[in-house]
């Protein structure tokens, strides 16, 4: 990518030519469209593959199934984090120590508290 952009930018030294680099958005759009096309192919039988009716019945609610799976995963993650929520004792002690040090330092420099 870098090589091609430097090659193409030789035409106009002032303005760098737009190199073909896939942004994250493009990547996601590409992936989603590929998956969506595959889903549409199977569930609406666009190519007349004469798939069994059962396959189409399974494939048709797949987007919703993925959504429900994602919801379940999110719920489970939240629940697990709630169950294993912990205190950060070490960090708390460290912070208290630093506050003490800072107060000492400021007092040395003549700040009244």
Binding interface with another protein (CB under 8 A):
54, 57-58, 61, 64-65, 67-69, 71-73, 75-76, 78-87
- Contacts (Cβ under 8 Å, ≥6 apart) of 39: 59, 62, 63
We find the least distance from the C-beta atom of residue 93 to another protein, in angstroms, to be 16
We find the least distance from the C-beta atom of residue 47 to another protein, in angstroms, to be 21
Residue number, 12 or 54, with CB nearest to another protein: 54
Residue number, 17 or 45, with CB nearest to another protein: 45
Q: Give the integer Cα–Cα distance in Å for 41 and 55.
A: 11
Alpha carbon dihedral 35, 38, 40, 45, in 10-degree steps, equals -170
């Amino acid at each position: 990518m870098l090589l091609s952009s430097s090659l193409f930018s030789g035409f106009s030294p002032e303005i760098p030519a737009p190199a073909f680099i896939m942004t994250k958005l493009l990547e996601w759009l590409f992936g989603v469209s590929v998956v969506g096309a595959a889903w549409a192919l199977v569930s609406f039988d666009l190519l007349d593959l004469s798939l069994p009716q059962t396959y189409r019945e399974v494939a048709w609610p797949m987007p919703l199934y993925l959504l429900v799976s994602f919801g379940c995963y999110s719920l489970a993650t939240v629940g697990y984090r709630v169950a294993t929520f912990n205190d950060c004792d070490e960090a708390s002690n460290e912070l208290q120590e630093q506050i003490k040090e800072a107060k000492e330092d400021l007092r040395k420099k003549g700040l009244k508290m």
